[in-house]
Chain A
Amino acid sequence: MTLLALPFPEFLEAAFDLPALERVESTIAVIDPAARLLWVNPAWHRFARENGGEESVFAGYESYLDGIAPPLKDFYRSVFANALATGEVFEQDYECSSPEKRRLFRLRVLPIEGKGLLLEHALNAEGAHEGASENDVEARYVSAAGIILQCSNCRRVRRHDSHAWEWAPGFVARPRANTSHGLCPSCVGFYWGLKLAKRS
């Protein structure tokens, strides 16, 4: 039985319009305070199907956090706990590109009176990758010493000119021997920040 066959959680009915949530293009999931999936909208299944993911999910058994890469799990666990405790909406822009398309999303975490959270992933922009050729990799990412610096955690690659960290799916698919592994500022802040704080 998939979530589509399950009733809309009662505690949501007062706050949200079910037909509207079922119509929107954004992928929406509702989780309980333990981060277990309660409901997802049709767009969620559509997105999973189009991107090779698991289309069938089962309410009350699967944690939303299971679908998050281990380095970011602690970060989102704290985001969810904070939203539940404070009632404040959390918003975050992020990139989730495929090898074919560059895609920018906005995540909104809406607390529902301490009973759960509604998570919306809205596609804000989609288009072709800018410069995915081998020559572009050379020009953008290879330093004068011939080394490419990649974050060992999130796999983003640092531009040698601006020092900006970018997703480079073509490079990630074909990593090179001249790659040195470091840490980008985001991973230092979120991933290692949490780890160091836990140990201090």
Chain B
Amino acid sequence: MSQRILIVDDDESTRQVLGRLLAGEGYLTETCESAVKALQLLLSGEYDVLLTDLLMDDMTGLELVRASREVSPALRRIIMTGHPRTEGAGADVEWIAKPIDVDQLLALLAAPLLALSKG
């Protein structure tokens, strides 16, 4: 069964591009522009992966992944950022750099949890 990915980014272009890219690769995708709205969506328990921006208006990506542990413990959590990685995010958080390298993102999603983004 296809993985369901929730893409969270306050930049509309990024949401559209990633949504189209991942849908084209067979993933089920949904996009939203705010962390608060993302948390509401995650309550449904329908998502396998949270792919979120780091810096957003209402809540940071780090705050979102922390809150997501409460509402969706089994979720895979990936933070996209143009900044250096932040220490203390938690061992269950994976990172991918912006600008997104398509092949790297697809490899990360296809790999077992935390297989590629450690180190």
Contacts and interface: CB of A to CB of B under 8 A. Distances in A.
A56 interface: no
B73 interface: no
A152 B101 CA distance: 11
B119 to A, nearest CB: 22
Interface of chain B: mostly helix, strand, loop or mixed: loop
A149 B24 contact: no
Interface of chain A: mostly helix, strand, loop or mixed: mixed
A183 B81 contact: no
A75 B20 CA distance: 20
A1 interface: no
B94 interface: no
A27 interface: no
B13 A179 contact: no
Interface stretch (A85-93, A114-122, A188-196): A188-196
B21 A196 contact: yes
B13 A180 contact: no
A180 B102 CA distance: 19
A177 B20 CA distance: 29
Interface size class of A (residues with CB under 8 A): 20 to 34
Contacts of B118: none
A9 interface: no
B103 to A, nearest CB: 10
B116 to A, nearest CB: 20
Interface string B90-104: 000000001110100
B102 A181 contact: no
Contact of A149 (B11, B16, B81): B11
B55 interface: yes
B17 A153 contact: no
Given A71-B99, A152-B99, A153-B99, A196 B11 contact: no
A179 B55 contact: yes
Nearest to A180: B55
A68 to B, nearest CB: 16
A179 B81 CA distance: 10
Given A152-B82, A200-B24, A183 B55 contact: no
Nearest to B17: A192
A184 B12 CA distance: 10
Q: Which of A149, A152, A177, A196 has the most CB of B within 10 A?
A: A152
A181 B17 contact: no
B56 A180 contact: yes
Contact of A196 (B13, B17, B54): B17
Contacts of A177: 83
A49 B18 CA distance: 41
Interface in B76-119: 81-83, 98-100, 102
- What are the 5 closest A-B residue pairs judged by CB atoms, nearest first? A182-B11, A181-B82, A152-B98, A183-B13, A152-B99
8 contacts: A147-B10, A150-B82, A152-B99, A181-B53, A183-B14, A184-B13, A195-B102, A199-B102
